[in-house]
Amino acid sequence: MVYEFETSKHAQLIGWFNKNFIHPEKIEPEYGKMINKAFNRRTKGDYDVYVDFDKDVVSEMFDEMKSFIARIKKHLEIS
């Protein structure tokens, strides 16, 4: 493990990520927005009675997460 942080809560992990990577500008703010948007959609999917993510939304989410993962990999390579 590169960073010594443990949690069982998604929201805590996102807060930690924002505090340690987005705010000190180690990772660009657009990636913080991506992960927050993904978490909000995930929460909506889990707890709303009915959620319909159409093909375009799912495609956008998939592209954003591929970009997010690539950016995190890049950060880990240079750290």
Going by pLDDT thresholds of 50, 70 and 90, the confidence category of residue 4 is confident
Q: Is the dihedral of CA 73, 59, 34, 25 positive or negative?
A: positive
CA 63, distance to chain mean position in Å, is 12
Measuring CA to CA, which residue among 43, 37, 52, 47 is closest to residue 9?
Answer: 43
End-to-end CA distance of the chain: 13
pTM of the full structure: 0.85
pLDDT digit string, tens, across residues 34-62: 999 999 999 998 898 898 889 999 999 99
